Structure 1
Amino acid sequence: MVQLGQKAAIYCRVSTADQSGDRQERDLRAFADRAGYEAVGVFKETGSGAKFDRVERRKVMALAQARQIDAVLVTELSRWGRSTLDLLETLRELEARRVSVVALSGMTFDLASATGRMMATMLAGIAEFERDLLRERVRSGLAAARARGKTLGRQLGQRPKSDRLAPKVLALVDAGRSYRLIGRELGLSKNTVADIVKRRRVLDAGSIS
């Protein structure tokens, strides 16, 4: 039960520039109204990966350190934490300021409680496992591509980003990943992924003929 007058920061994150955080903001504002939180700010950013510098998230942490908020509202836990270690470290820091991370489902991740610690560790561990599994699939796909004699390096005059990431895209396609998930992981649009696959098929058809 939210105490009257509790303040919350709304944090939205999308993985690529062709996505929008507007829906996350809309859903979280509605959730804040229903739950009785006073939204003191909305913080949006675009990007993914362990090396992504989350400037807006740092602003939220600064509010927590200044004790200006009681909760951080996110659509899901993966929007907040970049890795298991990062997730648990930030949750511990928020706990020290008595700030909870609350997901759109209403689930509260508060390390002050045994349930909060268990759920945060379990969910973050699953996400980390999936990420490691994806890395293994990429490595296996690249090895298979090399075994087939594919040239994985960048060629002069080609599209800089799409051709640089083409080997990874093709490896992920071979591993069974969807175009949407590949685009989200690598920061490409779904159409760009489809174009890379189409170009490979054209090249393969030419080599057969």
Structure 2
Amino acid sequence: MKYSLFFTMAVVASLLLPRSVDARIGERRESFERRLFSNGGIIYRDKEERKTRRSSGPYTQYLQYLGNSAEVRVYFKSDDGRQPTQSDLDKGTLGSGWEVHVLFVGGKSVLETYKRVGSMSEYEMNALLAVLGGGAYWEEAEPPVEDELEKDEPPPSAFGFDYVRSDGEVRAKKSGGGLMVFQKQLDEFLAKQHEGNLIQSAPQSVQGF
């Protein structure tokens, strides 16, 4: 299954449309950074440092499907509101806080990961979900049905998810001791693109057996 350039552009464009709930996903980069930088946040600017930190991101393998309008930025935010400096970044003396990765498409957030430097408490997880809910609430994703006769086809998902926002537009997943939130439409689009790529490459990969 191969998707045309027109289809890809159409989906990417649709990710930029405003959503019914005023949440962080869909927020413009300028607004996101203004709030973060005024609350103890700083951006990683060193090219090699950014590359190293992005390499472990669960989104990395999917960036190829989003084109030039996609950009990943990596931030650190102190947990007490203290403003870190570039010197703190360079020396690795940031202290405790959060590492935040944001995938922007066309300047708007479509995926965000939050990882505590140290362990995240259950209370912090719940507080973070509340903040990222944007006034909506979260529902736990339904577990897969074991009975083959009653099993429905699961919704396509590149990342998998543990929670769905009540409006159905945003998903969340506990990931590596942190939390990742992302647009449902992005998640399904990447899943279909990746599956199409696997189907296309399968004959070549087994050639010669």
Higher relative contact order (Cα pairs below 8 Å, separated by 6+ residues):
2
- Larger proportion of helix: 1
Q: Which has the larger radius of gyration?
A: 1
Same fold, TM exceeding 0.5? no
